[in-house]
Chains A and B, each alone.
Chain A
Amino acid sequence: MSGNVYVYILVMALVTYLIRMLPLTLIRERIKSNFIKSFLYYVP
């Protein structure tokens, strides 16, 4: 194993958190489009 394990861990933690955080904080408005709303409703 080369590379610092802790850097690996930090990189993945950062990427994973950003993926989760950005949409939740950037989308502040109510989405108007019924298509997008329905789309998000079906995501699970």
Chain B
Amino acid sequence: MKSDPFREWVRGCKNGIPIGLGYLAVSFSFGILALRSGLTVGQSVLISALNLTSAGQFASLSVIAASGSYIELALSQLIINLRYCLMSASLSQKVDRAAPFFHRFFMAFGVTDEIFALSVSTHGPLSPYYTYGQMSVAIPGWTLGTLLGAVAGNVLPPRVLSALGVALYAMFCAIIIPPARKNKVLAVIILCAMGASVAFTFAPLLRDISSGTRVIILTVAIAALSAWLRPVKEEDAP
């Protein structure tokens, strides 16, 4: 079945609205923090427009503020964002084989936790336009939020800002809970992942591992274990 690009794009925009709103809230706090780290409003917005990644951008602020080396910045980004590598690999299997190859270069820019989760959970092959739709809402949300945060950030009390940060988690729950309800194996895996991350946060030795590295270790370990114990049957594989 050939899907209509425009329709896919509209569907992506619609489903991307919660992502865009969540990004607006999170990047708002990024904007404030960026300004406090000594960047200008323009530079903060530029970072958001070019990177579209929350953890990596927040981490970059501390490296930039501490005048770290370029190598240090590159390495920290590589480690924190290495999970995107796994997501892109997964997406490479999901993209509609009939779609022209150049789409992959543009889709790559939009690989974030949320856009990936939504793209990969669509039924059947993934139309690039579905991802573009999400990007058309998410990228302006992320960039605009940064701008608003950087401009108006000094007005709001810190308490309100941390409350906005919770929005990201709520949005993420909205993405992972529906598939978990349909698939018991997924639900169990998600619970294990949550348990393991708690262990990594509090257990001695384990808690010394940086959060970026932690995400990579847990993702690789849990996905490998699940793939070994419960191989996906041919028909539901992406």
Which residues of A, 1-44, contact B by the 8 Å Cβ criterion? 1-3, 5-9, 11-13, 15-17, 19-25, 27-28, 30-31, 34-44
| Contact A3 B232, beta carbon cutoff 8 Å | no
- A/B pair count, beta carbons within 8 Å: 155
Question: A5–B64 contact, CB under 8 A?
Answer: yes
With A12-B47, A12-B77 already in contact, the answer to whether A40 and B93 are too (CB < 8 A) is yes
Assuming the A-B contacts A19-B84, A20-B108, A40-B89, are A12 and B230 also in contact, with contact meaning beta carbons closer than 8 angstroms in the complex? no
Interchain CB contact under 8 A, A16 and B56: yes
Indicate if the CB atoms of A27 and B93 lie closer than 8 Å: yes
B70 at the interface (CB under 8 A from A): yes
Distance A15 CA – B212 CA, assembled complex (angstroms): 15
Which of B70, B121, B219 contacts A11 (CB under 8 A)? B70
- Give bound CA distance, A43 to B227, whole Å: 10
Q: Write the chain A residue with the least CB distance to B89.
A: A23
* B111 CB within 8 Å of chain A: yes
Docked-complex contact A35 and B228, CB < 8 angstroms: yes
Interface residues of B in 65-103 (CB under 8 A from A): 65, 67, 69-70, 73-74, 77-78, 81-82, 84-93, 95, 97, 101
Contact between chains at B189 and A16 (CB < 8 Å): no
Contact residues of B: prevailing secondary structure: helix
Give chain B's interface residue range (CB within 8 Å of chain A): 35 or more
Tell me the bound Cα distance from A36 to B47 in angstroms.
Answer: 34
B171-210, CB under 8 A of A: which get 1 and which 0?
0000010000000000001000000000000000000000
Q: CA–CA, A34 to B84, complex, Å? A: 21
With both chains docked as a complex, state the minimum distance between the C-beta of A21 and any C-beta of chain B, in angstroms.
Answer: 4
A16 touching B84, Cβ below 8 Å? yes
B149 to nearest A CB, angstroms?
17
Task: Please judge, given known A-B contacts A20-B109, A22-B85, whether A3 and B104 are in contact too, CB under 8 Å.
Answer: no
CB distance from A6 to the nearest CB of B (A): 8
B181 CB → nearest A CB, Å: 15
- Complex A-B: 6 CB contacts under 8 Å: A11-B74, A12-B51, A20-B81, A20-B111, A21-B105, A41-B238
Interface residues of B, Cβ cutoff 8 Å to A? 38-39, 43, 46-47, 50-53, 56-57, 60, 63-65, 67, 69-70, 73-74, 77-78, 81-82, 84-93, 95, 97, 101, 104-105, 107-109, 111, 116-117, 120-121, 176, 189, 219, 222-224, 226-228, 230-232, 234, 237-238
Residues of A within 8 A of B (CB): 1-3, 5-9, 11-13, 15-17, 19-25, 27-28, 30-31, 34-44
